[in-house]
Amino acid sequence: MPYPTRRVQEKEMIFGLHSVIEAIDAGKVMDKILIRRDLSSTLSKQLLERLSAIGDTVHTTVQRVPVEKLNQLTDRNHQGVIAFLSPVEFYRVEDVIQAAYDKGESPLLMVLDNVTDVRNFGAIARTCACAGAHAIVIGKRGSAPINGDAIKTSAGALHYLPICKVDNMQNALQLMRDSGLSVVAATEHAQQNYTEADMTLPLAILMGNEEKGIYEGNLNLATEQVRIPLHGPIESLNVSVAAGIMLYEAVRQRTFGKR
């Protein structure tokens, strides 16, 4: 299978075992670390031990990949390891929810189930910031990278809007429900119109992948499923547009009441 040929700007990444270990020790936030599939040196073990020691606090995705993947990203001596610096800090879902409650606010979270397009992600982040959402929740795997393109498309919103990166989306959705949030899933297969859901409640809006929609296991954890009515020949909305419609229905209801 061919790999993408786009070269990442070297300011976005760190390569080499010593450099990556030193960056972790210095507290750098990393979005993803790629490790050569067959790498098993003493230094690579030290790297994995570092990551294991800091555990969930770093929210870093670690992937084992063929050496060809690394070579396409840089022609420098990467020693089998490339780390991508994250331009944003990551937060825990429970901390964001509690902070909203502590301020006397009704939590409003946007949950993205494998939204993979960087521009869609950035556009959703921009709308979330404008609508006053408290955070975006994404999975560690299968989500759009948070890079310069995402920051640009978000108009800088990603520098201010908390991002929660979770290991297991189903566990995160259950945590939201246990914390008193209504999980409203937007899906074209629902019967209920999106305006009929009560979005004045503490709320998590669940949006799905651009092609496959919401994963069934995640959809089953929704407290409500709603649809945005379509009247033309096109069968679906762009996910960033649909997310904006859902968010501003929440804003409308919270401003003027549900009616």
Specify burial of residue 29 (Cβ count, 10 A radius: 0-12, 13-18, 19+). middle
240 in Cβ contact with 127 (< 8 Å): yes
Residue ending a domain, choose from 65, 85, 105:
85
Tokens of 43: 């230094």
Residue 17 lies in a domain: yes
Domain stop point among 85, 115, 130 = 85
The CATH number covering residue 49 comes to 3.30.1330.30
Q: Report the amino acid identity of residue 211.
A: E
User: pLDDT tens for residues 52-92?
Assistant: 776 655 567 888 999 999 999 988 899 999 998 888 888 99
Range of the domain at 143: 93-256
- Longest CA–CA span in the chain (Å) reads 63
Q: Is the Cβ–Cβ distance between 113 and 141 less than 8 Å? A: no
Q: How confident is the model at residue 161 (pLDDT cuts 50, 70, 90)?
A: very high
Of the residues 28, 58, 85, the one at which a domain ends: 85
pTM score of the predicted model? 0.82
- Residue 156 neighbours by CB under 8 Å, 6+ apart: none
Do 99 and 154 have their domain in common?
A: yes
Residue 86: per-residue pLDDT: 85
pLDDT at 153: 95
Of the pLDDT bands very low, low, confident and very high (cuts 50, 70, 90), residue 255 is very high
| CATH number of the domain encompassing residue 249 | 3.40.1280.10
pLDDT tens for each residue of 112-156: 999 999 999 999 999 999 999 999 999 988 899 888 899 999 999
Please count the structural domains in the chain.
2
